[in-house]
Chain A
């Protein structure tokens, strides 16, 4: 029997954080070229595709543009920034099932170059604009992207005594890793005082609690362990993948201190047969500092409500128990609208032992956990260095 265990064999990132020479599609293409070169797989071997875009272009456009036309498998699942963790879940099942042999997952956006806007300025709705559908129950109130996460942060503080300083510790630790990434948007070290002293955007979130806005793209190639044997890179095994959802619009969030990570996190870990304390590195969606705190609580790194103390103890820092976002994350390095694919790319780099100065010692288990929408759709993926 051929070994159909799903593995990641290729990873590519397009130019970031600012790449005015590329449009969104160009990011998809450049990232895919780099992932193919990384893997050693021929382009013609791709018979599966998954991807999502921020605008009108979606999966069928990407397959045409990239020339993956005769695919046997296509997935355009859109759960916001976590889409790519859902894509891995589906691709792993498709590979196991024999629906296809090699799936390319791609993303690309010229978010920064196209919009040239600064964070949190809204601009999605204009004055007097008629708003239909579920959005009309929020549209008149002037909430912002940052404001949505602030609603969760405020409630977390109220219920558990979480502080701005504890949230800030997340941004400080991620910035330390950004200092090791020559491409990161911001690389100078910051302190907790810098974060809490930065301008309030939507109380209680400060400017430095928020991710950057950048250009960028990524591609991941998934195939069978069998095919990986004579490819260029050591395979990274998909040990578990699960996803779930609590709401879409922020005003429908049932519990402002819990995400679907509390259900899909344990499910993904159970598939992999590991406990939270066996994770060597976390690549978590860090749209905002509060996003990370809610994900670590959901994944079971610490009990619910104790995330503040957990991060303040330095557990997520370089040299800590389970280092976080070793590429500098969305908080300091790269966040082109959606970030989920970068979590998978960095987890793979760590498990291959190719992370240079940012390498986590003895890294054999990595968890990538994406959050899409407004803490809405969570996808958790457990990746490993060794064959299960």
Chain B
């Protein structure tokens, strides 16, 4: 996944701590990590030190960064900055090609052009060396 730098990051910042630390650090380098259980095959996101299906230790696995939009909303009211200044914007749930689902924003298109089932591609915004945040935009053909 492409890594984009931002001049100033003003959104709430993930602590990047705990069991998810490798996920956040990998995202800062352009890799989207999920977890895959060697014992039962379950794939999960967000990261935990336990497979929620069987209780074993999950392994890390790099995901493709491709997915489909499962559901979404267009947020039109939010009093908290910096979001207030960015209204309206899309909050969506993305089904990763590998199975797990994650929340994200959809950028790179008009809010009215977003639809359920839309093919999506991930990119990362580098917040620090330890934290990258995953965003989504419509997948272009062949990506």
Residues of A at the B interface (CB closer than 8 Å) are: 117, 120-134, 136-144, 146-147, 150-152, 154-155, 158, 199-205, 250-252, 256
For residue B70, CB closer than 8 A to chain A, the reply is: yes
Q: Which chain B residues border A155 with CB–CB below 8 Å?
A: 70-71, 116
In the bound complex, how far is the Cα of B83 from the Cα of A126, in angstroms? Answer: 10
Known: A125-B12, A128-B11. A158 touches B82 (CB 8 A): no
* Chain A to chain B contacts (Cβ below 8 Å), 7 pairs: A122-B83, A127-B11, A128-B13, A131-B12, A133-B18, A142-B75, A202-B73
Contact A132 B15 (CB under 8 A): yes
Q: Which chain A residues border B142 with CB–CB below 8 Å?
A: none
- The interface-forming segment of B35-43, B56-64, B86-94 is B86-94
In the bound complex, how far is the Cα of B87 from the Cα of A199, in angstroms? Answer: 14
In the bound complex, how far is the Cα of B93 from the Cα of A250, in angstroms? Answer: 10
Q: Which chain B residues border A205 with CB–CB below 8 Å?
A: 73
Contact A151 B91 (CB under 8 A): yes
Contact A121 B12 (CB under 8 A): no
Rounded to whole Å, the gap between the CB of B18 and the closest CB of chain A is 7
Q: Which of A140, A152, A256 contacts B14 (CB 8 A)?
A: A140
Q: DSSP class of A's interface residues: helix, strand, loop or mixed?
A: mixed
Q: Which chain A residues border B70 with CB–CB below 8 Å?
A: 155, 256
Q: Which chain A residues border B74 with CB–CB below 8 Å?
A: 200, 202-203
Contacts A123-B79, A136-B14 given; 19 further ones with Cβ under 8 A?
A120-B78, A121-B78, A125-B12, A125-B80, A126-B80, A128-B9, A128-B10, A129-B12, A131-B13, A132-B18, A133-B15, A137-B45, A139-B13, A144-B78, A154-B71, A154-B72, A154-B73, A202-B73, A204-B73
For residue B7, CB closer than 8 A to chain A, the reply is: no
Q: Which of A123, A124, A127 contacts B10 (CB 8 A)?
A: A127
For residue B4, CB closer than 8 A to chain A, the reply is: no
B79's nearest neighbour on chain A, judged by CB, is A121
Rounded to whole Å, the gap between the CB of B69 and the closest CB of chain A is 10
Contact B14 A137 (CB under 8 A): yes
In the bound complex, how far is the Cα of B12 from the Cα of A158, in angstroms? Answer: 31
Contact A147 B75 (CB under 8 A): yes
Q: Give the interface size class of chain B.
A: 35 or more
Among B10, B46, B72, B77, chain A packs the most CB atoms within 10 A around the CB of B77
Rounded to whole Å, the gap between the CB of B110 and the closest CB of chain A is 13
Rounded to whole Å, the gap between the CB of B12 and the closest CB of chain A is 4
Contact B10 A117 (CB under 8 A): no
Q: Which chain A residues border B78 with CB–CB below 8 Å?
A: 120-122, 142, 144
Rounded to whole Å, the gap between the CB of A253 and the closest CB of chain B is 8
Contact B10 A143 (CB under 8 A): no
For residue B102, CB closer than 8 A to chain A, the reply is: yes
In the bound complex, how far is the Cα of B87 from the Cα of A202, in angstroms? Answer: 11
In the bound complex, how far is the Cα of B93 from the Cα of A252, in angstroms? Answer: 10
Contact B71 A158 (CB under 8 A): yes
For residue B16, CB closer than 8 A to chain A, the reply is: yes
For residue B97, CB closer than 8 A to chain A, the reply is: no
The proximity string for B residues 113-129 relative to A, scoring 1 for CB distances below 8 Å and 0 otherwise, is: 00010000000000000
In the bound complex, how far is the Cα of B133 from the Cα of A138, in angstroms? Answer: 10
Q: Which of B9, B80, B133 contacts A121 (CB 8 A)?
A: B80
Contact B15 A143 (CB under 8 A): no
Rounded to whole Å, the gap between the CB of A119 and the closest CB of chain B is 8
Contact B76 A201 (CB under 8 A): yes
In the bound complex, how far is the Cα of B9 from the Cα of A132, in angstroms? Answer: 17
Q: Which chain B residues border A126 with CB–CB below 8 Å?
A: 12, 80-81
